[in-house]
Structure 1
Amino acid sequence: MRRYPTVAEVDDSARQLVSRFSGTCRLRRIGTSSGGRPITMLTVGHGPHHVLVVARPHPDEPVGAATAITLAARAAHGVGVSPATGSTTVTWNIVLCLDPDGAALSQGLEEATAGDGHTLEGYYRSAYRPVAAEQPEWAPIVSHQLPESQALFDVIDELRPFLQCSLHSVEAGGTWVQLTRELPELTAPFHTSAAKHGIPVQHGTFDALYWENPSPGVYILPPPELTGRLAAGSENIGRSTWCAPPRYGGVTAIIEVPLWTTDMADDLAAHPNRAAAVRDLSARVLDGGRQVTAILDKARAFLPRPEDSPRRRVLEWMADGLYDLVAESWQPLAADASHPHPHPHPHPLTTAQICALDIVARRQPLRAAGLLHHLLKSTTAPAAVGLRDDLDELLTAWSTDFRRSLRLRRVPVHNQVEHQLSTVLTATEAALNTATT
């Protein structure tokens, strides 16, 4: 597998499985997106225990679709699954693409990241990620109801899965799992799989910086009342689709794999200049955001209106305080890092943790630059040419510095898929054991 499959290719593969394994596989529409696109779920098996797998919850995270259809094929064939995860024990319910509207706006991402010609810059020029209020898993957190979110809530209420696996990927870094409750049997196989596929385990993440961390790369969602341990803007995370299965005794595993990785992701050495590093990263995200926003200011007159353009909505959302929110959320880290015994960290910030923040500081302006460049390609305004040139320079310079500074290397698509799939199967066995004991 040299590239990620498109939504159309995944749908076609699902139909082929249903045709070939009509007694084992079923395909149904579970909802309709805001833009009128179908949200489909492929079900494999007739076991008494339901697993819900959610692919492409974010449209700029393409690996989950490949993992989902690979899982479905192996479960249908009875290959690569254990007795505990076979179709007579487990029913696999696989949402093939939770955000088809967003995936349509990320069209071209699969080719931009394919084969030997892939580049980080090509990724950012093609990727689209909606505002928080238009992300199906996240929208309920900000009190926004989407039909995509409701479709997922309805399926959870119908199936009452003992496990939900949300398939995510990150542009750069290591691999990690976020859980709504601990699954001790997951840890060792997860680490073994990561090592087998050449993917470092991420020590420290932006989203879960203050979460319980019972083992490297495994993070446990804190109780809702402990809002101080959540990333800025996620204080109402209990409303998310991730937290719906626990209502029925189930657990959610959010499985992250990187497209590009770095050995810094699992470097546990204390960072030698942690306070200065955090301050520098705060400045980086602010400065990058200001540069893109300055170009946006010059282009607003000939861009489509925000209400007519999802990309424009993202740009305005980011310009209207997102960069500041990220930078401000790191100020306590900078203050803590200045003391001998920082709190709430019992140990000094590591190189891996600083690396995780560095990735966020770089990707926010890059995402914005890619979105704005895409919009400017669609206008005939004379001034757009010069502004596109400015963005070209930023995209190239920032992507090159990102790759060189963090010594990024591409993770083969096959390795991403096999590791994520292995983690899904391991989580299933671990959750099934706790559900039946």
Structure 2
Amino acid sequence: MPTPDRYLTVAEVADAAQRLVSRFPGAGRLRRIGMSRVGRPLLMLSVGHGPRHVLVVARPHPDEPVGGSTAIALAERLLRGPTGPRASGAATDLSQVTWDIVLCLDPDGAALSEGIEAATARRDHTPADYYRAAYRPVAAEQPEWAPIESRQLPESQALFDVIDDVRPFLQCSLHSVEAGGTWAQLTRPLPRFGPAFQDSAALLGIPLQHGTFDALYWENPDPGVYVLPPRDTARLAAGSENIGASTWCAPGRYGGVTAIVEVPMWATGPADDPAPHPAAGAALRELSALVRDGGRQVTAVLDKARPFLPPARDSAPRRVLEWMADGLYDLVADSWEPLARQADGAPGGLTTAQVCALDVVARRQPLRAAGLLLRLLAAADDPAAPGLHRDLDDLFTAWSADFERALRLRRVPVRRQVAHQTRTVLAAAGSALAAVR
């Protein structure tokens, strides 16, 4: 089936998986591997019958919708064949390798992000359309990340159980970023992976992300490829020294490796510019101020709305807003001060691409919060809600326009996002299989 130029909903992904099982009887199996916190099924599509396993995890974050579409495109590619002696040929030999594809790791979060698929289906959709519909949980409610926060969600446990059961030589986690370029994070090096990843991005016109907030201190053996550093390496505050507790690192118990594959919804021009930034220290201080100022303005509206909003215990969006208001903006901004001092002492130490990556983070933090609060205000039954909604909507609209203008965004078609993620997973599988043979 051709990949539509829009993201598939969770229900559409499940229906497509069931159709594939019917079209390829015996080669594909669909089963439930667990239940979410509120009772939604966690479904896994398995393709092939080989003794070695690749585990693919789609939609680990509910505001990153591309993974479900990639899951179906990948499964169909595997079921159609062909196999052969190419780089990924051995990995696509379904008599040798079984592919286990978790269709959505966070269906509860995805339900709170319902509307992303429709909001981004138009060719002229904007970041404002996206942020009005997106929902991203607090860290302790993100299944891949929750174990780091010492919280074991049923979704996390289901994934750990699958890992312990199939012992994958490779796990691929399918992520996307609102703006920037594409990059891959690895829990250990994969030989010959980098060139295949770069070739795919170049073929599809997607810039590589030279420097990223998520892996600013990770080792960088190839352009756009980052490898988890030793545990004592300094990391941004947004990272965690306890990353070994995450589901990303669990395949390592069995000699496996994890690849986190990020693709952008919108590309930015500076994402692949490795040239030294001419004034990185000043730029980072401006971005820190941007985060703090936007956070203060959203929190000021939240302060006025708190009396009539649903309590945090009953509202996941409210929990996110309180989490962000309780120091997250400052945590992000403070984490950049050492980088700014470093840039002052060694001009040219940070690249234009690295500053661009932090620029994306600075602008998206208040947009994420404002989008959630606008939804709560729209649903609130209080005389003060409409006025607060109008005031916040004015801020949100201005921030969204500035996001597009400052970062020179251009839309990456969904088909290209899916094609690149699929190619990257196959390249990682070929590389990882060659390494264990």
> TM-score band, normalised by the shorter chain?
over 0.9
Q: Is the 8 A contact 1:222 1:229 kept in 2?
A: no
Among candidates 98, 104, 115, match of residue 97 of structure 1: 104
1:381 corresponds to: 382
Change (3 A) 1:316 1:42: same
Q: Is the 8 A contact 2:187 2:249 kept in 1?
A: yes
CA distance in 1, matches of 2:366, 2:108: 23
Q: Is the 8 A contact 1:209 1:231 kept in 2?
A: no
CA distance in 1, matches of 2:5, 2:71: 16
Does 1:208 pair with 2:215? yes
CA distance in 2, matches of 1:29, 1:84: 24
Among candidates 332, 343, 351, match of residue 337 of structure 1: 343
1:237 corresponds to: 243
1:21 corresponds to: 24
Shift, 1:79, TM fit: 4.8
Among candidates 283, 302, 305, match of residue 289 of structure 2: 283
1:74 corresponds to: 77
Amino acid at match of 1:297: D
1:31 corresponds to: 34
Gaps of 5+ in 1: 342-346
Shift, 1:231, TM fit: 4.0
Offset from partner CA, 1:337-384 (integer Å, 9 cap, x none): 11136xxxxx61111010000000001100000000011111121111
Offset from partner CA, 1:317-355 (integer Å, 9 cap, x none): 0000110110111110011011136xxxxx611110100
Amino acid at match of 2:32: R
1:344 corresponds to: none
Amino acid at match of 1:39: L
2:178 corresponds to: 171
1:414 corresponds to: 415
CA distance in 2, matches of 1:386, 1:116: 32
Shift, 1:290, TM fit: 0.4
Shift, 1:103, TM fit: 0.3
1:62 corresponds to: 65
Q: Is the 8 A contact 2:208 2:272 kept in 1?
A: yes
Among candidates 144, 148, 160, match of residue 153 of structure 1: 160
Report percent identity of matched pairs: 70
Aligned partner of residue 382 in structure 1, secondary structure: coil
CA distance in 1, matches of 2:322, 2:405: 30
Does 1:268 pair with 2:269? no
CA distance in 2, matches of 1:233, 1:220: 14
CA distance in 1, matches of 2:242, 2:91: 35
CA distance in 2, matches of 1:257, 1:270: 24
Aligned partner of residue 345 in structure 2, secondary structure: coil
Does 1:4 pair with 2:7? yes
Q: Is the 8 A contact 2:90 2:430 kept in 1?
A: no
CA distance in 2, matches of 1:215, 1:178: 11
| RMSD of equivalent CA atoms | 1.2
Amino acid at match of 1:29: R
Gaps of 5+ in 2: none
Shift, 1:207, TM fit: 1.4
CA distance in 2, matches of 1:83, 1:186: 15
TM-score normalized by the length of structure 1: 0.97
Aligned partner of residue 35 in structure 1, secondary structure: coil
TM-score normalized by the length of structure 2: 0.97
| Count of aligned positions | 430
Shift, 1:117, TM fit: 3.3
- Give structure 1 regions of 4+ aligned residues with deviation exceeding 4 angstroms: none
Shift, 1:235, TM fit: 1.5
Offset from partner CA, 1:415-435 (integer Å, 9 cap, x none): 000001000000000000001
CA distance in 1, matches of 2:346, 2:8: 49
CA distance in 1, matches of 2:387, 2:82: 55
